[in-house]
Structure 1
Amino acid sequence: MRNYTAILQKEPFDGQYSKSSVIVTLALGLALYNCVELALLILTTFKRWRGLYFWSLSLCNFGVASYAFGMMTDYWKLTVLWATKILVTMGWMTMITCQSLVLYSRLGLLVDNDKILKSVKWMIIVNSCVVFTIVDVLDWGSTYSSDMSYLVGYYYIELIQITIFTLQELIISGLYVWKTYSLLQVVSKQNTRSMVSQVLAINIIIIAMDIALLVMQFHHMQLYQESFKILFYSIKLKLEMNILSKLVDLVHGSSVKNRSMTLEAIDSNAVQGQAQLDVQRELNGGRGSIIKWYGSDSSNNGAAHVQKDFGNVDPRFSPSMSGSSPVDGDDDGDDTIARVLSHPNDLNNSLRHPSSTTNARTSGREVDNLYADFCRVLSK
């Protein structure tokens, strides 16, 4: 039993500035600084305080701050033990769950598969409910009960929970890596490729930090693991806010320039047949033309024809109807954003019947959906 106690015990501050005390102080200080900065960014970025993305981002930031304050009071013995454990428990549960919800809230921008999205959602819910219940019971039992079985159970559940939540975040980040990598195969415009590469790089950095925390946990570096965990989660949260903003800019621009960039970013050599000629002809045309897609006849196998017409433009396709940026806090964050990837047949259906690919919540934005549908086919 002494071995389990020694492994789980974190040495408090002894009044001497050693290597451990400096690392803990720097990690906690940087984490709290990131929390303050991120809170200001959230307050100044979001126009409307609602939606899954806004609340998961805000609550995750609150969880990081709560966990940091809890560890501060524990390391420097600033308050009673039960108050410290409340701060740590509340912070840990909020931080872990909402971190995954932040990524899930924007996953629909890239993944157009309801089964995958529902599986990710229920994975987060089930893991949070089951794992946190067991961990909290064993944690509080090992602290206030004389039964040593609580301590043994808490030792093993610590290893299990960090493994489960690391795998959970690896799965979600892996989906981003998979889909952004597939976009690189068809995107040729340099600025757009750079943006997609940044999305890919940030997700790889997030995965690397998750693996580093897992390694420290299995090497029983308890004090360092908890200190760096707070710092890493604050960094990951800032990176995720940056990555998702870039992803929104990539999938759906709020200006005519961003919408026209969709065709320019496509590698026309990756398209076959009449569609290739149409894309190349449009790219060689004027920059300021308004593009309107019409349904094609069966002889061209569903290829789209491009017609530049300044006089007969449907007023619904006016730039003023393009919608606002998703950071304004719309419900669930992705209702006003066209998805990038879908089934190949969606293009032909959308070209022949544009209204069939829209619903009441996306009416007035048909041209954006048609551009997104075109990207879906090229991404396959």
Structure 2
Amino acid sequence: MSGVRNITVPWVPLDEFDWSFARTGPLPWNLTVWSILAVFTALPIWTTVELTFWVLYTFERWRGVYFWSVLGTTWGVTIHAVGFVLKFCVPEANWILTTVLSEIGWVAEVCGFSVVLWSRLHLVIPSDKRLLRIVLATIIIDEFVFGVPTITFQFLISNSATHAKYLPHMEIMERIQIMAFSVQETAISAIYVWGTLQLLKLSLNAKAKTTLAFLIIVQVLVVLADVIVIALDYLEYYTLKAVLHSFVYAFKLQVEFVVLNEFKHIAKGGITGAGAFPSFNHTGVPDMYKGSAISGSDNSNASPMRSHPGMTVSVSTRGSLPSGETGTEVPMVQNQGAEEPDVFERQYLGRYGR
């Protein structure tokens, strides 16, 4: 048959396989190694296709930091995986092209996912603008401090002429950057968990605590995924780590949709009974109730109606209370359905999960 060529690839047993930076050239043949490569490349690519459709379908407004960071990270997963497949498995592929693809994907994954986490902080600490600015500045600074040197050394060791000279520097930089970015993601997740715990104070039933506890557990799983990648890097399983890296970030993005679905339910007031994360004034009363009977400014027996998008709050007071009881009744919250998008959907996601 015309066009068919015999390509000789050296076979290496699994116990002698070199996973480190020191290995150069095409990936040696080993059925287990190539199978791992195929599986953990196919899964992120499929996840990219799936998440792209989900993002474009569930977000009515195709704009905003959250939308673009999720979409950019999603495609970074595939670009990173394709870059390494070409680098490891296609001897004829230009080393500059494969390195450019893998590094573009890496930046989109690492920096992009940190921006995803940062944009989600607006849900739990919307009033702390200073903390939000500090987190964003940290993400940008870390990308320059740790990302630029890593990319530079990656190009230098990908070139066979400079590989040996810069290999020791790349090994050191690789361990520094992976730890730095993992700590960054863990810190952002910790802030998110702290903000989530503050929301427990608004809870009126046990379901809220169960849901918020679930969200915290999800964040722990994300941190554990980082631990796996760090362990492989420090054990010098760089090739395996490079293959798993895209899969890990694809997993994180899938988890992100779980988190947003839970927060959508909370924001609609079905759990907290207080609406979409109300802000509090200096008296400790939610601003949405300012001037109503619940704030203490009206002691009449009337039952004023206070409404906000998606629900109506009926507040009533009594002229006399049983002995030993003071204050007002707990407001009754009546869900009026989803005819109008709630605050969470309008301001943050458009109409997420229609």
Question: TM-score under structure 1 normalisation?
Answer: 0.67
For 1:179, the equivalent position in structure 2 comes to 195
Within the candidate set 197, 201, 208, 1:192 is matched to 208
CA apart distance, 1:324: 4.0
Q: Which shifted more, 53-62 or 29-38?
A: 29-38
Counterpart secondary structure, 1:90: helix
Higher relative contact order (CA 8 A, sep 6+): 1
CA apart distance, 1:245: 3.1
CA distance in 2, matches of 1:315, 1:8: 61
Q: 1:25 to 1:322 in 2, by over 3 A?
A: same
Counterpart secondary structure, 2:20: helix
CA apart distance, 1:26: 1.1
Q: 1:116 to 1:307 in 2, by over 3 A?
A: farther
User: Given that residues 109 and 334 in structure 1 are in contact (C-alpha distance below 8 angstroms), is that contact kept between their aligned partners in structure 2?
Assistant: no
Q: 1:182 to 1:24 in 2, by over 3 A?
A: same
Within the candidate set 97, 120, 132, 1:117 is matched to 132
CA apart distance, 1:43: 1.2
CA distance in 1, matches of 2:301, 2:252: 45
Matched, 1:103 2:117: yes
For 1:205, the equivalent position in structure 2 comes to 221
For 1:246, the equivalent position in structure 2 comes to 262
Query: Match of 2:237, as an amino acid?
Result: M
Query: Match of 1:109, as an amino acid?
Result: L
Within the candidate set 160, 169, 174, 2:176 is matched to 160
Q: 1:263 to 1:47 in 2, by over 3 A?
A: closer
CA distance in 2, matches of 1:29, 1:230: 10
| Cα deviations by residue, 1:79-116 (Å, 9 ceiling, x for unpaired) | 22221111101000111111001111110221242232
For 1:42, the equivalent position in structure 2 comes to 55
Unpaired segments ≥5 residues, structure 1: 265-274, 276-290, 298-303, 337-380
Query: Counterparts of 1:257-276 in structure 2 under 5 Å?
Result: 258=269, 262=273
Question: TM-score under structure 2 normalisation?
Answer: 0.72
Q: 1:327 to 1:99 in 2, by over 3 A?
A: farther
Q: Which shifted more, 69-78 or 98-107?
A: 69-78
For 1:224, the equivalent position in structure 2 comes to 240
Q: Percent identity?
A: 21
For 2:84, the equivalent position in structure 1 comes to 71
Could you list the structure 1 runs, at least 4 aligned residues long, displaced by more than 6 angstroms after superposition: 304-308, 314-318
User: Given that residues 46 and 327 in structure 1 are in contact (C-alpha distance below 8 angstroms), is that contact kept between their aligned partners in structure 2?
Assistant: no
CA apart distance, 1:118: 1.4
For 1:346, the equivalent position in structure 2 comes to none
User: Given that residues 19 and 236 in structure 2 are in contact (C-alpha distance below 8 angstroms), is that contact kept between their aligned partners in structure 1?
Assistant: no
Within the candidate set 41, 48, 52, 1:28 is matched to 41
For 2:296, the equivalent position in structure 1 comes to 296
Q: 1:37 to 1:139 in 2, by over 3 A?
A: same
Query: Counterparts of 1:326-341 in structure 2 under 5 Å?
Result: 326=344, 330=347, 333=348
For 1:360, the equivalent position in structure 2 comes to none
CA distance in 2, matches of 1:79, 1:306: 79
For 2:103, the equivalent position in structure 1 comes to 89
CA-based RMSD of the aligned residues comes to: 3.3
Bigger share in helix = 1
User: Given that residues 53 and 102 in structure 1 are in contact (C-alpha distance below 8 angstroms), is that contact kept between their aligned partners in structure 2?
Assistant: yes
CA apart distance, 1:75: 2.2
Q: 1:259 to 1:293 in 2, by over 3 A?
A: farther
Counterpart secondary structure, 1:193: helix
Count how many residue pairs are aligned between Structure 1 and Structure 2.
290
Matched, 1:127 2:142: yes
Q: 1:82 to 1:201 in 2, by over 3 A?
A: same
Q: 1:327 to 1:213 in 2, by over 3 A?
A: farther
Counterpart secondary structure, 1:79: coil
CA distance in 2, matches of 1:65, 1:263: 41
CA apart distance, 1:207: 0.7
Counterpart secondary structure, 1:109: helix
CA distance in 2, matches of 1:159, 1:167: 12
Q: Which shifted more, 35-44 or 130-139?
A: 130-139
